[in-house]
Structure 1
Amino acid sequence: MSGSGDNDGADTPETPQPKPKKKQRPFWQELPILVGFAALIVALLVTFIGRPYVIPSQSMEPTLHGCAGCTGDRIYVEKLSYYFGDPEPGDVVVFVGPTDDWNRHYKSIRSSNTAVRGVQNFLSFFGLVPPDENDLVKRVIATGGQTVQCCDAQGRILVDGKPLDEPYVKFNNPFDPAHPDVQFNAGGRAFGPIKVPDGNLWVMGDNRAESADSRYHMRDELQGTVPVKDVRGKAVFKIWPPSRIGPVRAQDPQTN
């Protein structure tokens, strides 16, 4: 038998055909996709990581500027820290006014025009427009379970009977050591004692002479304290104006 016909009828391997190249979309078609993807990332960052806020008042001077005639500081407020723990003494926090007493002077910053208001609300998701709420910035002085009051013979605030060291306070009302227990000694120095409920904070502005802080809301249902759940985040950086760019420092006044 001859082996010359062993491959007779066998299939001849086909030469693989090159795959057709995918046609690339023109840039003008890809641009909306890229913009939408970037907007989604920004919205997630603003919602879960942090966002900028504008300082509208002088209550935190000289740490933060915001008074009439001054350039209002823009600050970056991060949220991550408080996913893993509560605010601590010395933190500068942004919070929404927790009671009607805090919010009685607040007016909506949104337009009365429905279309414009919708655009403002949309832009707020991306941090381009402030949220429509009474956001305030103060420094944490005492936390849940602590008792805060003022003043000792030197006009210092006491937390659990120990005086605080507050180098960030530059502007304060006069204090009369002859009458340390007079309520609102010379315009707001004397107060308390107030025991801060668990899960709440006692907050005050660094500019004590111009800050409507926890002292001025002691008659509300929370005795002027702020629930931790109403804290929006921790101020960590001044991002505007350029001359004031830099960190916002937490200084624990209870460590002395």
Structure 2
Amino acid sequence: MDTDTQHEKRDHSSVTPTGTAERSRFSRSPRPAEEAGTAPEAAEETGRGGLSWRRTGLLGIICAVFLLLLSTFVLQPFLIPSGSMEPTLQVGDRLLVNKLAYRFGTAPQRGDVIVFDGTGSFVQEPPRENPVTGLLHGAAAALGLAEPAETDFVKRVVGVGGDRVVCCDKGGRVQVNGRSVDERYLHAGDAPSRVPFDIVVPEGTLWVMGDHRSESRDSRDHLGEPGGGMVPVKRVIGRADWIGWPLDRWSALEPTDAFRRVPGPEGGGHG
């Protein structure tokens, strides 16, 4: 009887809900990969993430190349490093220089604000620099992230080829081809020039001056040097058309009418 009782107890103890024993017997333990969270779905997601980073890097490179090409041939940011063009341009302004302005037969006009390479006119010998450092600085400057090269300048065109530019008339103003110019863009309190001059601009060159005349080293400062302070037109990088940064300075550089009544050389030519 004790045996039957024990047997009966064993039978009852071994009874489980339908299929439970089979499931327990055949159920597999979690694989190490699944426990670590690297199931096929997770691995696939990680793969997509890696690809996404590669795409992001490639996209960044493409954007950088595009901006460099745009800056090289079309529209270049130019950081203003000094106050020589105040109040028109402030220190820290980033100009957008239109490199197409003079590419299709149009020449710089009196009153234009231009960016130019002063090699041979304002700078007789460019400073020597490490090629790698120069390349990196040039790329940063091309994107407006660094100061421009020491040979790059921004000034206003006052005289073009054939013009006679004189300072000063009896009222202290600059004369171009015998016409006195009312330069309302000058920095408050500045005289048009404290350096007297009387020059004729050779064809293919420009006479340029800063708007902050007392703080600007321009054509006047190079009268006794080779080239006489004249900037070859071929050295012009482009015309400054917009201020792009800071945002509160965002604006187009409006053309001046100061030279509107100036006649061309000897009554003809440039207007």
TM-score, L = length of structure 1: 0.72
1:163 is the counterpart of 2:180: yes
Question: Superposition RMSD on alpha carbons, in Å?
Answer: 2.8
Which is bigger in relative contact order (C-alpha 8 A, separation at least 6)?
A: 1
Q: Aligned partners of 1:118, 1:225: CA distance in 2, in Å?
A: 28
Instruction: Give the match for residue 71 of structure 2.
Output: 46
Structure 2 residue aligned with 1:153, among 149, 170, 186? 170
Q: Relative to 1, partners in 2 of residues 1:99 and 1:116: Cα closer, same or farther, differing over 3 Å?
A: closer
Q: 1:120 to 1:205 in 2, by over 3 A?
A: closer
The CA deviation at 1:74 is 1.7
Q: Which runs of 5+ in 2 are unaligned?
A: 1-47, 262-271
Q: Which residues of 2 match residues 1-256 of structure 1 at below 5 A?
A: 26-66=51-91, 72-84=92-104, 85-99=106-120, 102-103=122-123, 119-124=136-141, 126-171=143-188, 173=190, 187-188=194-195, 190-192=196-198, 194-256=199-261
SS at match of 1:233: strand
Q: TM-score, normalised by structure 2?
A: 0.68
The residue identity in structure 1 corresponding to 2:108 is: P
Partner SS state of residue 243, structure 1: helix
Query: What does residue 17 of structure 2 align with?
Result: none
How many aligned residue pairs are there? 212
- Gaps (5+ residues) in structure 1? 1-23, 67-71, 176-183
Relative distance call for 1:204 and 1:61 in structure 2 (3 A) is same
Q: Is the 8 A contact 2:80 2:90 kept in 1?
A: yes
Q: Distance in 2 between matches of 1:103 and 1:200?
A: 16
| Residue deviations 1:141-166 (CA, integer Å, cap 9, x gap) | 11011111111111111111111121
Work out whether residues 89 and 252 of structure 1, in 8 Å CA contact, stay in contact via their aligned partners in 2: no
Once the two structures are aligned, what percentage of the paired residues are identical?
A: 40
Cα distance change on mapping 1:162 and 1:116 into 2, 3 Å = closer
Report the structure number with the largest CA radius of gyration.
2
Task: Give the letter aligned to residue 87 of structure 1.
Answer: P
Which amino acid letter does the alignment assign opposite residue 162 of structure 1?
R
Runs of 4+ with >6 A deviation: none
Q: Compared with structure 1, are the counterparts of its residues 173 and 127 closer, same or farther at alpha carbon in structure 2 (3 Å cutoff)?
A: closer
Q: Which structure's residues are more often helix, by fraction?
A: 2
